[in-house]
Amino acid sequence: MTLRFYDSATAEVRDFVPLEPGKASVYYCGATVQGSPHVGHVRSAIVFDQLTRWLAYRGYETTVVRNVTDIDDKILAKSEASFAPDFVPEGTYIPREEWFALAYRYEQEFEAAYEVLGVQRPTYEPRATGHVTEMHELIARLIERGHAYPAQDGSGDVYFDVRSWPEYGSLTHQRIDDMQAATDADPRGKRDPRDFALWKGHKEGEPVTASWPSPWGRGRPGWHLECSAMATKYLGPRFDIHGGGLDLRFPHHENELAQSAAAGDPFANFWMHNGMVTFEGEKMSKSIGNVIAPAEMLALASPRVVRYYLGQAHYRSVLDYRPTSLTEAAAAVERIDGFIAKAGARAGGDAAYDGGGSPRGGHAGAAGGSVPEAFAEAMDEDLNIPQALAVLHETVRRGNSALADGDAETSSAALAEVLAMTAVLGLDAARTDTPSSDSAAHHALAVLVDAQLEARAAARAAKDWAAADAIRDTLSAAGIAVEDSADGAAWSLAAPHTAQTNRMGA
């Protein structure tokens, strides 16, 4: 078994050799909580969730850090904009939403999106505002080594001197002279327009609560500095994998690498970046109006379908959203769930399936099985999800054929493999709106549907085909799919996602 991942720094697929045998350390960039999550944020989280799940499956004790950037220029600007006196009735006081309250509100939106889509909680999820001391220490080391300097204009800014570090640009393979100027702070105090802010002096009109005392005056940290300080605090000066969206590669990750390496920290052994999400071939943009938010997707499809869609492409490729994308993903998930439901019912008799990729009853142990070798080979080779999904669907086809042939041994083996693969892909973790078999809602539904199926069975026995068809049509209109077999009629909740399956001996 050799895991291989594409390293953005070397632009090649390399063998993954962890710094510590049997362990893996992963840092991936989380949210800057200045607004609601967009689909790119969620795709990135799902990609690195798939990565860490696979590392765990392969036996690595994995430490995962995902940061929260809760102080930022845009957060302060949105807080300021939350007070709009032109729209306030005279004599009415409407308080401004403080920057930290705004940041926390959006942070909760991100956490809710992660949870509903089955993204595992990281080992640590540090906030930038809780690590200012570590940031001061990193700045001091850089100044001492001659790689940073306080601005001479009295602004309180501190900058990284990009020309003092010969390897600046190595992550993105650029020459300094070809780079654009850094726009994260006033350029008047910079030696070079490309120098970026490590510390941003407090400015008149900004809330004092958004600043901290420092040896260089009150201020707040620069964005790039935050991740370097948090990554090394929790994973050490050198760790295995640093990840994030491709849009973060420059300047964010380039600057992280430069400041950390210049301070004497080897930093990440691998840099992994996921591709963007586009809308019918075009970049998503608020100005164009083609941005699709996770909430919009979840209004159109179940969480498991949304997770399947966002996680189906190779992580380094562009994922293009089209109006039919979720419909296609729903059909794929329905095929998987349909097989699990039928095979689970066959294997466990009265055993039920909860519609979320997890078995209940007689076949509960199946989820602990092993994935097929072809699936493992695909995942080992740079997390090749499309190839792994092809194996999953082929196993579903094989299992369905075995069910049709009455081959219980083959269908049970396929069920175990399918459950193992859906667990690795996190499809069993995304929430489902389907009531579980032990809920009062499901019990009530089962009683009502079973009564209808009994009436339908009686109509069929009396050769009253019109009445039997009418009952089936009524159930179908209510979202109940009925499938006839030699063992009787089976019912399940229909699209967008298949759920509990029951059988009636009819």
Helices (H), 150-301: 223-235, 254-262, 294-300
Instruction: Calculate the alpha carbon distances from 29 to 64, 138, 258, 286 in Å.
Output: 11, 19, 17, 22
* Domain stop point among 395, 424, 453: 424
Contact between 261 and 138 under an 8 Å Cβ cutoff? The reply is no
Q: What is the pLDDT along the chain (506 residues), one digit of tens a residue?
A: 799 999 999 999 999 999 999 999 999 999 999 998 989 899 999 999 999 999 999 999 999 999 999 999 999 999 988 865 555 555 555 567 999 999 999 999 999 999 999 999 999 999 999 999 999 999 999 999 999 999 988 889 999 999 999 999 999 999 999 999 998 888 888 999 999 999 999 999 899 999 999 999 999 999 999 999 999 999 999 999 999 999 999 999 999 999 999 999 999 999 999 999 999 889 887 777 788 888 889 989 999 999 999 999 999 999 999 989 999 999 999 999 999 999 998 876 433 444 444 443 333 333 457 999 999 999 999 999 999 999 999 999 999 999 999 999 999 999 999 999 999 999 998 776 544 444 444 554 565 566 678 778 877 877 888 878 878 877 776 667 787 866 678 777 654 433 344 544 44
CA-wise closest residue to 338 among 475, 451, 495: 495
Q: Is there a single domain that holds both residue 357 and residue 484? A: no
pLDDT at 89: 57
| CATH number of the domain to which 120 belongs | 3.40.50.620
The reply to whether 107 and 9 lie within a common domain is yes
- What domain count does the chain have? 3
Whether the Cβ atoms of residue 185 and residue 222 lie closer than 8 Å to each other? yes
427 burial type by CB count under 10 A (0-12 exposed, 13-18 middle, 19+ buried): buried
* Pair (454, 352) in one structural domain: no
pLDDT of residue 217: 95
115/183 same-domain check: yes
CATH code assigned at 368: 1.20.120.640
DSSP string for residues in 440-492: HHHHHHHHHHHHHHHHHHHHHHTT-HHHHHHHHHHHHHTTEEEEEETTEEEEE
Residue type, 483: E
Clarify whether residues 362 and 217 are in a common domain.
no
Same-domain check for residues 249 and 193 = yes
Q: Tell me if 340 is assigned to some domain.
A: yes
Work out the angle at residue 164's Cα, subtended by the Cα atoms of residues 197 and 245, and round it to the nearest 5 degrees: 50
Amino acid occupying residue 155:
S
Same domain, 75 and 144: yes
What is the C-alpha separation between 175 and 185, in angstroms, rounded?
A: 22
In a domain? residue 341: yes
Domain assignment of residue 113, given as a range: 4-86+93-275
Q: Are residues 265 and 400 located together in one domain of the fold?
A: no
Q: Which runs of E-coded beta strand occur in 348-445?
A: none
Instruction: Identify the pLDDT of residue 445.
Output: 57
Is residue 374 included in any domain, yes or no? yes
Q: Domain check: are 35 and 143 in the same one?
A: yes
Q: Is residue 474 part of a domain?
A: yes
362/483 same-domain check:
no
Q: Are 61 and 158 within one domain?
A: yes
Q: Evaluate whether residue 116 is within a structural domain.
A: yes
Instruction: Give the pLDDT confidence score for residue 187 in this predicted structure.
Output: 85
Name the pairing type of β-strands 196-201 and 219-221.
antiparallel
Cα angle, residue 488 at apex, residues 487 and 493 outer, rounded to 5°: 115
Whether 306 maps to a domain, the answer reads no
Clarify whether residues 385 and 453 are in a common domain.
no
